[in-house]
Structure 1
Amino acid sequence: MAGPTENPTAIRRPARRVLLVGWDAADWRIIDPLLEAGRMPHLASFLDTGIRGNIASLQPMLSPILWTSIATGKHGDAHQILGFAEPDGDSGRVRPVTSTSRRCQALWNILSRRGLRSVVLNWFASHPAEHINGVIVSDRFARPTGAFNEPWKPVPGSIWPQSWEEDLNSLRLHPSRITREQVSHFVPEVDTVNPTRDPKGRKLVSMLARCASIHAAATALIVEEEWDFFGIYLEEIDRFGHEFMEYRPPRMPHVDEQDFARYRHVIDGIYTFHDMMLGRLIELAGDDTTIIIASDHGFHSDDLRPEGSASTEQRPVAWHRPYGMLAIRGPHVRQGENVYGASLLDLAPTILAMLGQPVPRDMPGSPLLQVFDVSVDVESTDTLEDGGSPHDAPESEDDPWVVREMMVQLADLGYVEDDKMGSVVKDRRRNLAQIYHATGRTLLALREFEAMLEEDPDDRGARMAAGNCLLTLGRLDECEAMLAPLLEGEEAAPFAAHYRGMIAFRRGDDEGALAYLRQAEAASGPNAALLTQIGQVYLRREHWDDAERAYMRALELDPDHAAALNGLGVVYRSRGRLEAAVLAHMRSVALLHHQADAHQNLGIALMELGRLPWAIRAFRTSLKINPGNAAAHRCLALIFEKGIERPLLAERHRRRAEAIVAARRAGRVEVAEEDAAVDDTDFETAGDGGVS
């Protein structure tokens, strides 16, 4: 274990205690207009004395995976919560994901074993409630245990310790107790809503009752319990989004005018309702508490909304935006500034650092030290996994009503096809493969998708994903053969043209790539991703004007398109506009930190500006994300040879670049990345002067 840094003015524990408020799918694009209109006053006051920013999501954007990654600081393949449902080995059936399936410790386990107290409410995959040092109210606490018009008994195993069961269960709110006045906050024409006959109305009051139950439990526990860490998760912004985002102005073509008039205010209503709850939590937590508000992803709310309903088209993830919201306030936190480059995986290390705990190197993220107005000493260690159980949960009997209600909800939203074991196992395997692909382990992903195709050759999703893996690996003939069954027929024309364009680009056929990509644009209309790929073709041809036009059009459609900003930075650098290039690349990595090529491009622009210490940092970050990046090693070799004279480092990076190229030529991709791993001491030995 490495000790804290040698800085006599640094603070060891900058937070007395930490409150983490999870708002599933909360998005600045909806919040900011409400802030400007004065409709979220508590969040506005919070931001006046705190910081804010985007937070990059992970793939796949599925809430149980993401919120478990937030709690553990690990990717899904490490924590093994791989979807909404899981096989139940004892019964042979399927069930919603449980705490007993998690394969690494969450924050509350780590803190409990180090003598700190936690209170956790409604966290995904937290049932049965774990026996921690503190209190857990599981994600089944507020679920129905009977028919809509019947009383609901408490959910067994949903509260720890048992001494809290009577008090907290008395706070559970049945939907029948939601008043018409309360519904009018969301639907002003409240007389048009009948929960007993209207499915939308029934879902609205049921979700409100569940949210109010969790909030009531939180307000009791935040005052009555002693705690160092308090985590509360609220899913209703996401759930309301899937039920009602299609009714938000402007009206989508498929939406009935009467339904639009009835439900057009619901989304703004759920945000302002969350602001009311936030105000109470802030008041009860006190000024000496560090408060983090975060979402796992955003939610499309404008002209980027997919066609059709978010809840009936069986593609709910298409509505998710890859950037969530992040806001932090408390002692020693900067005020009135932005936080850049945050990822969901940074939250657990940040909370550990706030509470003066060591940050393990097996967490891929890093503490967000930029949020503090003081220097913070952070102790590091290899791991905090102690070899014992990764959770503190007992085995618990599932309440059949709760399981049924949760599985029906997931099926309605399109997250699970049905409750058959084979379907759930396939979904979990698909999600694992997506995690591998998103984290650069493309060969592992390909093996999973190929295994799925062996079991079901008609699995179009697995075939498309396998084709993407082969494209990433540059195995273009195999990619074409894999995708061939999907590229036939008139309906597949836009998709076929798009993929053929990407394959042509990888083959160096720029003319063919442009022809196919323009064909795809004509067939399906412009979108930011397609225009960015067109820009990439022009970029390689050094047609700077055409590339800039393509990137600017992409950014008009989606101002937060990180790849378009990265490409635009390359255009600016080619024209000698180095300051503009640096700004474009910085905007790109601020939105999406884990882009090795964007950090590399930022490093090149900084190098050409003569800002060598900052360039080294950019190349270092690129190599941490992609250790097999030979170009970044070459750039570092050049800096250490001709700029900051460190001949030994220059030779080391040159040799690493050569080893990567040789390994790739031999087809040993994984070996190349392993051999190219960068040790931080490479950069520490470069000396001070802003380098280390």
Structure 2
Amino acid sequence: MRRRGSLILVAAALVTAVAAVSVLRVRPGDIAVVSWRGGGTPDLRTPGLSLRVPLLQRVQVYPRGAVIVRATLATASREGSALDLPYTVKAQPDPQTLLRLHREGGDGGATAAVRALVEEQLTKAAAATGTFDLASGSAAAAIAASTERALDEKLGPGLVLSLGRPILPAEVRASFERAAIYGRRVETGAHVVLVGIDGADWDMIDALGARGRVPNLARLKREGAWARLRSSVPTLSPLLWTTVATGKTPDRHGINDFLVADPRTGRKVPINSTFRRTKAIWNILTEAGLPSDIIAWWATWPAESIQGHLISDRVAYSTFDLSRQKQGAVHPPEYASIVETLRVPDESVTYQQVARFLHISPEQFRRARGLAAGRDAGRGRGNGEGPSVESETEVSINLMTRVLASTETYRRVALDLLDRESREGAPARLFAVYFQGVDEVNHRFAHCAPPQAALCPEGDYRRFKDAVAEFYAYQDEILGEILKRARGATVIVMSDHGFASGAGRPKDVKPFIEGKPGLWHDLTGIFMAHGPLTKRGEIAPVTLLDIAPTLLYVLGLPVPEDMPGRVVEEALASDFVAAHPVIRVPSYEGLESPAAPGSVPIAQGTGGVEGDDATEQAIRKQLKDLGYIGGGGAGPVSPGPTTAIPGPAEPGRQGAAGEARGSPAGVPTVLYHANLGAVYVSKKQYEQAETEFQKALLIDPSSAPALSGMAIVEEGRGNLDRALEYLQSVVRLETGADYATLIKMAALFTRMGKSADGVAYMRGLEPGHDGGDLRELGLRVALGMLYSATGRPREAETALLRALAIEPTSVAAMQELFALYDGQGRSAELRPMIQAALGKNPRSAMHHNWLGLVLRRQGDLKGAEEEFRKTLEAAPDLVGALANLGSLYLQEGRVDDAVAVLKQALLKDARNPESRTNLIVALGMKHDLEGARQLVKDAEGMGQRAPLFYNALAYALHVNGRNAEALEPLRESLRIDPRQPDALKLQSEIENARPSDQIPYR
């Protein structure tokens, strides 16, 4: 009996135990997944009590519903360098997503699934990142952001990824050691002279060269290698010339505006070397033991200690006390006393010198200089700009005086160093001198250059019409003096951007209107290389990023992988290139590099040198007179007025804007952030761009550049409605400069399928946009676009003809009108209008392109080819013109020429549909069907599934007798768009075995 009782107790205990282990307790906030061992469908268990089957079911609890992974990924950089990348990721998926991930992860559950997804993306990101950026951690934020964005849909918006410090193999770490890098240098014996001419433009040089006015520039182009130089956006000198000096983009080198806020005082001060975060070429040459002379380069004050000479960009200001600031002005400091004797003060410039450029009277000169002297005296007494107000003419006279003094100062210093080192038999390996005068004179006088424009009154035209051309001639004379002293050197002459001239000048805005300098800048600058190591003739376009790698290469130094530019080998002699293969190293920055955004400036060792108020005021005055900055004071930066018109609300994004005070090097100025945002936009790094634009808007909620930048960001993300809201905020500001904004809004309304709403919006703006000016031009073009999209061709035609009546050379208006007329078979009617526009602006690439299309439609193939060639002469990168020329060659049966041109077009823009379509056809005509198929596969790999590509492949197969195979791509095309008359016709011809003479793209 006692034994039976014991058994009952044991059984009861077992039952209790089984019951206990069969009950699953999930704590509040946690989520559990219960799955059967050996298979079956898992299920979710929410907080509370539930049953499970012991031994047969497995439980995985996710605390707070989160999936956390801490791991290290073995990965490799773009160049193939292996390293280990520690990371931590926390995902917060919704319950159903968590259940799906748990199933996908198998025995490892959701943790394994999240790890697999994250590591797949990290591996891709690492493979697209340079060794330096990966190893130093400078790309960590960008990699984390791109991975979070890529997995947002699969894992939910709560994903947070952080990367640890990379673990480097010994051989990778050793590749960053200075001895290893500089030990790979080879002696080339080269000496390089680099002459930077800000704003120099081929249109002006070629025109003046034909008249014999710039013989030195003309000779270099005739005897050396030359190219069009592609500038970068924004086209602002401090950014661009620092890109030249560092080989890095502004988000890396840290120079992003003319003015920055001193992190110690918050006062706006001119940009200087203490804000640069990467090594310039003179730092690299110093570490390599090679002397360099650097004169007047942007953002070089305070001067760094280098091997050679560095003459900073503040030396030429008359207000700058060189005797007191030797340490910061010049390196070595002992050369400052010589520079002092070479300086040309503003007050020493004579009437005769200025009269070479400006047709003014001695009395006008004396009055202007008297006002300047009073202003400078007031500045010296701490009275700011002084008591007198200068007229526009007097500002122009004083600015020309100042430009001449500065140019002469740096000319004298440059010639002194060349002569001195020639006598000593020890020339610098790199001699670099920068001249700003051409850009400055253009900014003040280009609107008054011939032919006379409406912006320039008759009196100003008489006074200032020769200023730009004469200054080019003067700059050419200086170049000639340098060339005489640089015999045997490889000479590179370049500009950072071009400048509008002739009929290509803006019609409504003078080049010195405050805060709008970029309106007159042209994205095409000049590049020339001349000397014993160079070739002769035109070469492919170069970029600002190509200059530093090319200089390092010519001087025998390795080219770092973290410089995104290339060596311009095609400019150099073949035997030199053959004897000196390019040597690559990860970076000159070192693993503790400050190159990441938000890091410490590299030139901080120049600290302890104080700027002086008088010189900083003089610099601000100069920038204001040139239109580079507005008229704001130098006081501390503060948030803008609360009454400003804001953009759309930013729920959930306050963190980005709230970091404004923690910007790189403590420089929270509106334009700094807006410019940096534009750089990120150009790289399609939208998270970083948004952060910068929001910082700008925190300072000034009515900043048009920041609002427009946010519109680009949202458009890039596919949020067209939010992009439209930001652009509407820009229009509400009523700045009078919404021409491009209205046209962009019309395109967005159309893409959103809301063209009728767009018409109503634009019609509402008509009362304030009816002045026959640039504002009305933008509105009429926008209405033309929207009327076309809503199927109202007559109203579209009326709006566009009105736009062309306002501005007959308008590219935007003609583009829309050409599309409208061409679709109606009326393109020939546009021929007189296009030719009239070319009469006003013979360099308009798009008008030549349209004329070529008209002539082709009319059967004048020779005339069309000539116009397409003129198009490409004016704009070598205009891919549409290359596609048109290739299509023309196909029509003429010149298949080899067509293939060559179309391959060139596709290299410039792999996503251009016309180029790809025509090249597929051309390869088919050359019987290269594998090549044609590969072009379609490549497009599919980029997410492009255009019916034209499949039609072209079908045609290529058809003309090669592969009819059965041709039907397959045709069916794919018609699946995408069943309403294609050309495709249906081709399908009928193939099925009925009839030959086709219809090329898929006209």
If the TM-score is normalised by the length of the shorter chain, which range does it land in?
A: 0.7 to 0.9
Equivalences for residues 438-477 of structure 1 within 5 A: 438-441=682-685, 444-445=688-689, 448-449=692-693, 452-453=696-697, 456-471=700-715, 475-477=719-721
Distance in 2 separating the partners of 1:517 and 1:109: 59
Q: Is the 8 A contact 2:216 2:479 kept in 1?
A: yes
With 126-135 and 516-525 compared, the bigger mean Cα shift is at 516-525
Q: 192-201 or 511-520, which moves further after superposition?
A: 511-520
Residue in 2 aligned with 1:394? 606
Shift of 1:97: 1.2
One-letter code aligned to 1:28: W
Check if 1:82 corresponds to 2:365.
no
Q: Which residue among 895, 902, 906 is the counterpart of 1:619? A: 906
Of 93, 106, 119, 2:293 maps to 119
Secondary structure of the 2:528 match is: strand
Q: Give secondary structure in 1 for the equivalent of 2:816.
A: helix
Q: Distance in 1 between matches of 2:829 and 2:279?
A: 47
Q: Deviations over 1:300-346 (max 9, x none)?
A: 232333335322454222122222222221113233x2234222222
2:438 pairs with 1:237: yes
Gaps of 5+ in 1: 3-11, 663-692
Q: Does structure 1 residue 59 correspond to structure 2 residue 233?
A: yes
Distance change (3 Å), C-alpha of 1:27 and 1:214: same
Please tell me whether residue 502 in structure 1 is matched to residue 747 in structure 2: yes
Partner of 1:545: 827
Counterpart selection for 1:482 from 702, 715, 726? 726
SS at 1:217 equivalent: helix
**Does 2:799 correspond to 1:519?**
yes
Do structure 1's residue 268 and structure 2's residue 268 form an aligned pair? Answer: no
Residue of 816, 831, 845 corresponding to 1:534: 816
For residues 189 and 817 of structure 2, the distance between their equivalents in structure 1, rounded to whole angstroms, comes to 46
Instruction: Give the distance between the partners of 2:738 and 2:618, measured in 1 at CA.
Output: 40
Mean Cα deviation higher: 377-386 or 89-98: 377-386
Q: Write out per-residue CA displacement over residues 45-93 of structure 1, whole angstroms, 9 at most, x where no aligned residue.
A: 3334224343222111111111111222222112121011112112222
Deviations, residues 275-302 of structure 1 (Å, cap 9, x unaligned): 111111011111x111111111122232
Partner of 2:328: helix, strand, or coil?
A: coil
Q: Deviations over 1:167-225 (max 9, x none)?
A: 12221111222233322322354524222244433322222111111111101112323
Equivalent position amino acid for 2:677 in 1: A
Q: Which has the larger displacement, 95-104 or 642-651? A: 642-651
- Following superposition, the deviation at residue 444 of structure 1 comes to 4.7
The answer to whether the 8 Å contact 1:544/1:571 transfers is: no
- Paired residue for 1:227? 428
Give the length in aligned residue pairs: 644
Q: Which residue of 1 aligns with 2:669?
A: 425
Query: Helix, strand or coil for the counterpart of 1:303?
Result: helix
2:618 maps to what in 1? 405
Shift of 1:98: 1.4
Q: What TM-score results when the alignment is normalised by the length of structure 2?
A: 0.57
Say if 1:572 and 1:246 are closer, same or farther in 2 by CA, change over 3 A: closer
Partners of 2:240 and 2:496 within 8 A in 1: yes
Note the 1:371-390 alignment, pairs <5 A: 371-375=571-575, 376=577, 377-381=580-584, 383-387=586-590, 388=593
* Counterpart-to-counterpart distance in 2, 1:542 and 1:229: 60
Counting only pairs closer than 5 Å after superposition, residues 512-661 of structure 1 correspond to structure 2 as 512-513=788-789, 519=799, 522-523=802-803, 524-531=806-813, 533-534=815-816, 537-538=819-820, 541=823, 545=827, 549=831, 558-561=841-844, 609-610=895-896, 612=899, 615-616=902-903, 618-623=905-910, 654=937, 657-658=940-941, 660=943
Q: 2:529 — aligned with what?
A: 328
Match of 1:246 in 2: 447
| 1:18, distance to aligned residue in structure 2 (A) | 1.2
> Is contact 1:340–1:590 with CA below 8 Å preserved after alignment?
no
1:356 aligns with 2:556: yes
Structure 2 Cα separation of the partners of residues 212 and 242 of structure 1: 19
CA contact (8 A) 1:314 1:413 kept: no
Call closer, same or farther: CA 1:491–1:201 in 2, change over 3 Å: closer
Shift of 1:122: 0.3
- Could you tell me whether the CA contact under 8 Å between 1:54 and 1:591 is conserved in 2? no
Query: Is the 1:531–1:554 Cα contact (8 Å) retained in structure 2?
Result: no
Match of 2:161 in 1: none
Amino acid at match of 2:943: I
Identity %: 27
CA distance in 1 between partners of 2:315 and 2:859 (Å): 60
Q: Distance in 2 between matches of 1:425 and 1:562?
A: 37
| Structure 1 counterpart SS, 2:409 | helix
Per the alignment, do residues 139 and 634 of structure 1 end up closer, same or farther by CA in structure 2, a change over 3 Å counting?
same
Q: How does 1:115-154 map to 2 (within 5 A)?
A: 115-145=289-319
Q: How far, CA to CA, are the matches of 1:80 and 1:557 in structure 2?
A: 41
Q: CA deviation at 1:435?
A: 1.9
Distance 1:460 1:493, change over 3 A: closer
Q: What SS class does the counterpart of residue 511 from structure 2 fall into?
A: coil
Worse-matched range after superposition: 303-312 or 224-233? 303-312
**Does 2:354 correspond to 1:175?**
no
1:98 aligns to 2:272 (yes or no): yes
- Residues of 2 paired with 1:604 and 1:13: CA distance? 49
Aligned counterparts, 1:207-226, within 5 A: 207-225=403-421, 226=427
Answer yes or no: is the 8 Å Cα contact 1:474–1:506 preserved in 2. no
Q: Aligned equivalents of 2:702 and 2:680: distance in 1? A: 22
Letter in 2 for 1:545: S
Q: 1:258 to 1:360 in 2, by over 3 A?
A: same
Q: Tell me if the contact between 1:144 and 1:152 (Cα under 8 Å) persists in the aligned partners.
A: no
Verify the 8 A CA contact 1:18 1:229 in the aligned structure 2: yes
Q: 1:428 to 1:558 in 2, by over 3 A?
A: farther
When residues 555 and 528 of structure 1 are mapped into structure 2, their CA distance, relative to the original with a 3 A threshold, is farther
From 463, 470, 486, give the equivalent of 1:285: 486
Give the structure 2 partner of residue 341 of structure 1: 541
Which segment is superposed worse, 176-185 or 469-478?
A: 469-478
Q: Aligned partners of 1:653, 1:556: CA distance in 2, in Å?
A: 42
2:574 is paired with a residue of what secondary structure?
coil
> Structure 2 counterpart of 1:512, which letter?
S
- In the alignment, residue 244 of structure 2 is paired with which amino acid? I
Counterparts in 2 of 1:362 and 1:597: CA distance versus 1, 3 Å: farther
- Letter matched to residue 407 of structure 2: C
Q: What SS does the aligned partner of 2:200 have?
A: coil
The CA distance in 1 between the partners of 2:943 and 2:293, in whole Å, is: 47
Is the partner of 2:220 in helix, strand or coil?
helix
Q: In the TM superposition, what is the alpha-carbon distance from 1:585 to its structure 2 partner?
A: 7.2
Contact 2:496–2:525 at 8 Å: present in 1 too? yes
Q: What is the root-mean-square deviation in Å for CA atoms of aligned residues?
A: 4.2
**Cα distance in structure 2, aligned partners of 1:240 and 1:143:** 17
- Judge which range, 68-77 or 253-262, deviates more: 253-262
**Higher alpha-carbon deviation: 324-333 or 477-486:** 477-486
Q: Which residue of 1 aligns with 2:54?
A: none
Please say if residues 83 and 428 of structure 1, whose CA atoms lie closer than 8 Å, have aligned partners that are also in contact. Answer: yes
Given that residues 141 and 158 in structure 1 are in contact (C-alpha distance below 8 angstroms), is that contact kept between their aligned partners in structure 2?
A: yes
After superposition, the Cα gap between the structure-2 partners of 1:495 and 1:66, relative to the gap in structure 1 and judged at 3 Å, is closer
Considering Cα pairs closer than 8 Å and 6+ residues apart, tell me whether 1 or 2 has the greater RCO: 1
Structure 1 counterpart of 2:215: 41
Shift of residue 426, structure 1, vs aligned partner: 0.9
CA 1:493/1:23 → structure 2, altered by over 3 Å: closer, same or farther? Answer: closer
Over alpha carbons, which structure has the higher Rg? 2
Task: Quickly say closer, same or farther: Cα 1:19–1:494, change in 2 above 3 A.
Answer: closer
The amino acid that maps onto 1:253 is: A
Q: Distance in 2 between matches of 1:517 and 1:176?
A: 58
Q: Which runs of 5+ in 2 are unaligned?
A: 1-78, 81-185, 372-393, 422-426, 596-601, 641-667, 756-784, 946-1002
